[in-house]
Amino acid sequence: MLIYLLRRIMQSGFVLVAMSLLVFLGVYAVGDPIEILISPDADQIEKERAIQALGLDLPLWQQYLVFVGKALQGDLGRSFVFNEPAIQLILQRMPATLELAFGSMFLSILIGLPLGLYAGLRPNGAISKGIMAGSILGFSLPTFWVGLMLIMVFAVQLGWLPSTGRGDTAMLFGISWSFLTGDGLSHILLPAINLALFKISLVIRLTRAGVRETMLMDYVKFARAKGLSPFRVTFVHVFKNILIPVVTVVGLELGGTIAFSVVTESVFAWPGMGKLIIDSINVLDRPVIVAYLMMIVLMFIVINLLVDIVYTVLDPRVRLEAKA
Amino acid sequence: MNTLEVKGLSTHFFTRAGVVRAVEDVSFTVGRGKVMGLVGESGSGKTVTGFSVIGLVDAPGRIVSGEILFKGRNLVGMGEEELRDLRGNRIAMIFQDPMMTLNPVLRVDTQMIETVQAHQKVDRETARQRARDTLGMVGIPSPDERLKSYPHQFSGGMRQRVAIAIALLHQPDLIIADEPTTALDVTIQGQILAEVQKLAANTGTSLIWITHDLSVVAGLADDIAVMYAGRIVEQGSVDQVLDVPFHPYTHGLIGSVPSRNKRGVALRQIPGTTPSLMSLPPGCAFKTRCERADGACETMPALAELAPGRFARCVHPHLETLPA
């Protein structure tokens, strides 16, 4: 186990290095931030000074080395726009995105698993067919449109829920969270539903497929032949087996949600990381973009590792050893 | 009283492509402590017969007619709760593939204890001791440690022993063994057969031993029923049927078993394949593969008692081999 973890951490290091190169080159290719950052009226000397101050006069490989050197000390650069450390900017926005992502994840499991289970156990029932048809909608409706519709119906017409911002927040561990106050919860509900819709459909389909496959296994029939109650057969024998694919996908989806909930955050004016990255891309704020992408890479690595560890709990045949 | 009397059992599967008559008008009796061999090729309906007895025929299949009298009680039409109480308790089943019968994500003790507790209100520790003792009885060394193992930590033969132990937990009156040794090595097969025979003799448990292997039946069973295309074509005591088979199909089966006496002589084959159960021709189902078939075989012959205790369903039985 320990050896496995060490090896995983080393592998992760390589991934990080490779990604930093890619990200750095990619951002470099996107465009010259000077054109955007400096007013067109500035004279040549001012321009030169700005370029030097931002370290943009060095050749690319030197810029990269400077970046790596500083990154190793925990400094991912200062934002050109805010003149604040990029990492600090991102961390400020992170709690908002995290609670939104986890909220939507929670909803998708809370709703998706039972519905998928039901649809899997009664594949021919009318309700099951309704659930499956609904899940197709969840897959195919574009997020921004659903977001707008949610605002239209629940915020504008019914007036039940607020449509923008985080609402009241409460402090926990020195960070402000929305989900700790009633007002904050009412603010988080609509964007979380919006973000969860696709994932609910995904979990429904995965669960249903898993149940249908598992129900045909000999060990399920054997469990029934032992005279176990249908409840125990379903919730112990079948359920534990379908959790493996669900955990995999939910884990990866969680990463995706944290990293790329841009659309939902924009629609609901949710002050999270997604909005920050979109704004930074618009003004070519390189340090923020690079820092953001690096953090996302790190996050995916960590989530993958956690998912692998959860596997060993769920499936005794998985051993975290030697060949990883 | 006989442990089991099956009378005129028919189990059909109502598929979209048509009705599959998997079991048609099957009758047999298993006395207390007796072993009845149910023999036939794949698709002859022997497994479905077994599942019918234990009440585990899944949709689209169902028992359409007949009676299954278990110690005088008719299982056909019995409520699901009552059936569940018998399953694993008074009637147990062992499956063909030991690699698939045990749930891969549950420990052996979990799978055994739940079986004990499904039918008896005993605490976990008592159930555990029962599980351990039964494991020891079927020849698993150091059962205490093995209880904590997962199925994948056992070999195929050991897994089948665990499955047999689970079947024995409540000392059932009847065990339905569906080709339990087919997936095992010949040496392991021999050991398991010997164990089962001993256990059945000691506990008075009756057995239905489903197999396609005549040599297994020869050593184990008291009575035999040969199935072809969903019907019993020959029935009687094992010694008599194997020594002097009446039905051309039984004849063919015995002729196709290699033996020392037939060294150097080409084994006889039964030409052709089993007909599709969905489109059985009228009359004897074996007529297309039978060298004795003629016009008279166009009507289905009845299962007739051709000698005391000897039944065969044939227009032209091999009566000439009967010692005068």
> Would the CB atoms of B95 and A218 count as touching at under 8 Å?
yes
> Would the CB atoms of B105 and A232 count as touching at under 8 Å?
no
pLDDT-based confidence at A322, cuts 50/70/90?
Answer: very low
Which residue among B54, B85, B119 sits closest to A225, beta carbon to beta carbon?
B54
Mean pLDDT of chain B: 86
Please answer whether residues A227 and B87 qualify as being in contact, where contact means their C-beta atoms are separated by less than 8 angstroms: yes
Chain B CB contacts of A223 below 8 Å: 103, 111
Q: Any CB–CB contact under 8 A between B264 and chain A?
A: no
Chain A CB contacts of B182 below 8 Å: none
Which residue among B84, B101, B105 sits closest to A315, beta carbon to beta carbon?
B105
Taking the C-alpha atoms of residue B61 and residue B68, their distance in angstroms, rounded to an integer, is 16
Please answer whether residues B94 and B177 qualify as being in contact, where contact means their C-beta atoms are separated by less than 8 angstroms: yes
> Would the CB atoms of A228 and B88 count as touching at under 8 Å?
yes
Chain A CB contacts of B100 below 8 Å: 217-219
As a whole number, mean pLDDT of residues B258-277 equals: 76
Q: Any CB–CB contact under 8 A between B100 and chain A?
A: yes
Which residue among A219, A228, A240 sits closest to B101, beta carbon to beta carbon?
A219
Domains of chain B, with CATH numbers? 4-90+170-321 (3.40.50.300)
pLDDT at B6: 92
pLDDT at B321: 63
Taking the C-alpha atoms of residue B300 and residue B314, their distance in angstroms, rounded to an integer, is 8
Which residue among B106, B114, B118 sits closest to A240, beta carbon to beta carbon?
B106
Q: Over 80: is that where the pLDDT of A129 sits?
A: yes
Interface test with B, best of A216, A226, A310 (most B CBs within 10 A): A226
Chain A CB contacts of B105 below 8 Å: 240-241, 314-316
Which residues partner with B14 through β-bridges?
B19
How confident is the model over B88-130, as pLDDT tens digits? 889 999 988 888 899 888 889 999 999 999 888 889 999 999 9
Please answer whether residues B251 and B288 qualify as being in contact, where contact means their C-beta atoms are separated by less than 8 angstroms: no
How confident is the model over B130-184, as pLDDT tens digits? 999 888 888 888 888 888 888 888 888 888 889 988 988 888 899 999 888 877 7
Q: What torsion do the CA atoms of B299, B304, B307, B308 make, to the nearest 10 degrees?
A: 180
How confident is the model over B27-73, as pLDDT tens digits? 999 988 889 999 988 888 899 999 999 988 988 899 999 999 998 88
- For A194, the enclosing helix (H) or strand (E) is helix A182-215
Q: Over 80: is that where the pLDDT of B87 sits?
A: yes
- Rg of chain B on CA atoms, in Å: 21
> Would the CB atoms of A237 and B92 count as touching at under 8 Å?
no
> Would the CB atoms of B118 and A229 count as touching at under 8 Å?
yes
- For the ranges A51-55, A157-161, B132-136, B297-301, the lowest mean pLDDT is seen at A51-55
Distance from CA of A101 to the nearest CA of B (A): 30
> Would the CB atoms of B104 and A317 count as touching at under 8 Å?
yes
pLDDT at A323: 44
Tokens 């669900």 correspond to: A246
Secondary structure of B248-300 as H, E, C letters: HHHHHHHHCCCCHHHCCCCCCCCCCCCCCHHHCCCCCCCHHHCCCCCHHHHCC
Q: Any CB–CB contact under 8 A between B47 and chain A?
A: no
> Would the CB atoms of B150 and A225 count as touching at under 8 Å?
no
Tokens 């000392």 correspond to: B171
> Would the CB atoms of B105 and A314 count as touching at under 8 Å?
yes
> Would the CB atoms of A225 and B56 count as touching at under 8 Å?
yes
Mean pLDDT of chain A: 80
Taking the C-alpha atoms of residue A223 and residue B111, their distance in angstroms, rounded to an integer, is 8
Chain B CB contacts of A224 below 8 Å: 56, 87
Which residue among A228, A241, A317 sits closest to B114, beta carbon to beta carbon?
A228
> Would the CB atoms of B88 and A236 count as touching at under 8 Å?
no
Q: Over 90: is that where the pLDDT of A298 sits?
A: no
Taking the C-alpha atoms of residue B287 and residue B83, their distance in angstroms, rounded to an integer, is 39
pLDDT at B59: 80
pLDDT at A296: 83
Say which residues have a Cβ less than 8 Å from residue B224's Cβ, sequence separation at least 6: B36, B37, B38, B39, B217, B234, B235, B236, B237, B238, B241, B242
Chain B CB contacts of A225 below 8 Å: 54, 56, 87-88, 92-93, 95
Q: Over 80: is that where the pLDDT of A313 sits?
A: no
Which residue among B87, B96, B100 sits closest to A226, beta carbon to beta carbon?
B87
> Would the CB atoms of B87 and A227 count as touching at under 8 Å?
yes
Please answer whether residues B193 and B216 qualify as being in contact, where contact means their C-beta atoms are separated by less than 8 angstroms: yes
Residue in B closest to A217 by C-alpha:
B100
Highest average pLDDT, of A8-22, A39-53, B18-32, comes from B18-32
> Would the CB atoms of A227 and B103 count as touching at under 8 Å?
no
pLDDT at A319: 67
Determine what percent of chain B falls in helix, strand and coil, rounding each to the nearest 5. 35, 25, 40
Please answer whether residues B214 and B247 qualify as being in contact, where contact means their C-beta atoms are separated by less than 8 angstroms: no
pLDDT at A170: 67
Q: Over 50: is that where the pLDDT of B199 sits?
A: yes
> Would the CB atoms of B104 and A225 count as touching at under 8 Å?
no
Taking the C-alpha atoms of residue B83 and residue B22, their distance in angstroms, rounded to an integer, is 22
Taking the C-alpha atoms of residue B300 and residue B289, their distance in angstroms, rounded to an integer, is 15
Q: Over 60: is that where the pLDDT of B232 sits?
A: yes
May I ask the CATH class of domain A89-314? mainly alpha
Q: What is the DSSP string of A128-145?
A: HHHHHHHHHHHHHS-HHH
Taking the C-alpha atoms of residue A17 and residue A19, their distance in angstroms, rounded to an integer, is 5
Eight-state DSSP code of residue A267: H
> Would the CB atoms of B86 and A227 count as touching at under 8 Å?
yes
Pairing of β A170-172 and β A175-177 = antiparallel
Tokens 């351990």 correspond to: B132
Please answer whether residues B50 and B30 qualify as being in contact, where contact means their C-beta atoms are separated by less than 8 angstroms: no
Q: Any CB–CB contact under 8 A between B48 and chain A?
A: no
Residue B106: closest CA among A180, A220, A62, A44: A220
Instruction: Dig out the tokens for B158 from the structure.
Output: 């050991």
Q: Over 60: is that where the pLDDT of B213 sits?
A: yes
How confident is the model over B305-319, as pLDDT tens digits? 888 888 989 888 887
Highest average pLDDT, of A40-44, A165-169, A191-195, B189-193, comes from A191-195
Distance from CA of A246 to the nearest CA of B (A): 15
How confident is the model over A94-128, as pLDDT tens digits? 888 888 888 888 898 999 899 988 888 888 888 88
Chain B CB contacts of A236 below 8 Å: 106, 114
Give the number of A-B residue pairs with CB atoms closer than 8 Å: 76
Q: Any CB–CB contact under 8 A between B120 and chain A?
A: no
> Would the CB atoms of B97 and A229 count as touching at under 8 Å?
no
Domain boundaries, chain A: 2-72, 89-314
Eight-state DSSP code of residue A295: H
Determine what percent of chain A falls in helix, strand and coil, rounding each to the nearest 5. 75, 0, 25
Q: Any CB–CB contact under 8 A between A216 and chain B?
A: no
As a whole number, mean pLDDT of residues A27-54 equals: 72
pLDDT at A324: 39
> Would the CB atoms of A219 and B102 count as touching at under 8 Å?
yes
What are the Cα distances from residue A144, in Å, to A60, A139, B322? 38, 13, 85
